[in-house]
Amino acid sequence: MRVGLSIGGGVSVIEDLEPQELAADGFSSVFLACYEDDIRWEAQAAADFSRACVAAGLDVYAVPLGYGCVMAPDASSDSLYVREQAHNCQVDNRGRRVKKACPNNPAFLEWFSSKMRTLAWLLECRGFLWDEPSFYHGRGAWACRCEWCQRLFFAQHQHEMPHEVTGDVPHFRRNSLLMFLLAATAAIHAVDRRLESVVMPTCATGARQAGIATDQLHPVGESSAVDVLSVYVPWQSQSRDMEVAVRNTVAMAMTATRRHRKPVILWISGSPHPRDRLLDAMRVARREGVEHLVIAGHQTLTASTVYPRFRTSLSQTIERLR
């Protein structure tokens, strides 16, 4: 089992990180958050860091965040595109623009593809992780009902889009996101055909709300936009039993990818604190057949003040589970 680390926080964080040390601790991959704003101003720092990671023997995966916020696991994500191009954003069922670009909007799609091509040129990386692509959903509200979505819906279903998420709407939203991921993947493949497209469906809400989610993995596992399926087990925040949560999530992901034999990446949150049971969770993942585990993330683990006392047992565990 390979063990990776996710690194959020942007350029200010990576300046203090030493890829050689991460490799020495046993990590074999890093998932690097690439914020729209950071890449605009500090592209060179991100490029230098990815090069240093590769030199240290780490596989780098880019995780684009912002960029219209279609991929926005964190509701507070910032995107200059969203602020400046509000007319290309999703429209909810009350007719309001929300802070997420519409994946069916051709102008956004063109802008996004061009940004991803640039990022793929910039970073030495093995692949891209598309983190929780979703449509907007809130209390009693859902998107998108913009003119492009309405037109596309009518063309596909020969009737107007309903005002509720009923009938063909869930299917339409899911297909829209999968088509968006196909375009995103085509953009990075235009730079290098070998780049992996790793898709992380959202786990906080169901597919009915977000479009695609962990409660309906089959269409994601079957999609040609997906080279690798990534699943997150937030057992702590959902107050679930760790072993049961890991086992069930791995089983669901493996069932969804079995037919096309796609690899699965499992994510867990980790810190040196005993309540996070990081080393136990790693053992359970290995026992369930996980080949690539990612720990989220740097802030809670490797940047923790008690990490120096924890790192030996962590690296020994990684070594034993290899």
| Residue 91 C-beta: closest distance to Zn ion, Å | 6
Q: For residues 118 and 150, which CB has a smaller minimum distance to Zn ion in the complex?
A: 150
Radius of gyration from C-alpha coordinates of the chain? 19
The span of 63-71, 78-86, 149-157, 220-228 binding Zn ion (CB under 5 A) equals 149-157
Residue 89 · residue 101 · CB < 8 Å: yes
96-115: which residues touch Zn ion (CB under 5 A)?
102, 104
Residue 176 as a binder of Zn ion (CB under 5 A): the answer is no
**What does the DSSP assignment read for 248-287?**
HHHHHHHHHHTTTT--EEEEEE--SSGGG-HHHHHHHHHH
Residue 254 · residue 214 · CB < 8 Å: no
Instruction: Please pick, from the candidates 11, 62, 146, 266, the single residue that binds Zn ion as defined by CB under 5 A.
Output: 146
Q: For residues 27 and 180, which CB has a smaller minimum distance to Zn ion in the complex?
A: 180
Q: For residues 109 and 281, which CB has a smaller minimum distance to Zn ion in the complex?
A: 109
Instruction: Please pick, from the candidates 22, 70, 149, 318, the single residue that binds Zn ion as defined by CB under 5 A.
Output: 149
Distance CA(40)–CA(42), nearest Å, equals: 6
- Return the closest-CA partner of residue 203 out of 258, 248, 168, 145: 248
Is the link from the previous residue into 53 a cis peptide, with omega within 30 of 0? no
Instruction: Please pick, from the candidates 14, 144, 231, 314, the single residue that binds Zn ion as defined by CB under 5 A.
Output: 144
| Residue 73 C-beta: closest distance to Zn ion, Å | 20
Q: For residues 180 and 232, which CB has a smaller minimum distance to Zn ion in the complex?
A: 180
What is the contact mask toward Zn ion in residues 232 to 251, using x (rule: CB under 5 A)? Answer: --------------------
Q: For residues 209 and 249, which CB has a smaller minimum distance to Zn ion in the complex?
A: 209
Q: For residues 104 and 134, which CB has a smaller minimum distance to Zn ion in the complex?
A: 104
CA distances from 49 to 120, 123, 125, 138, 302 (A): 14, 9, 11, 37, 17
The identity of residue 315, as a single letter, is S
Positions that interact with Zn ion (CB under 5 A): 102, 104, 144, 146, 149
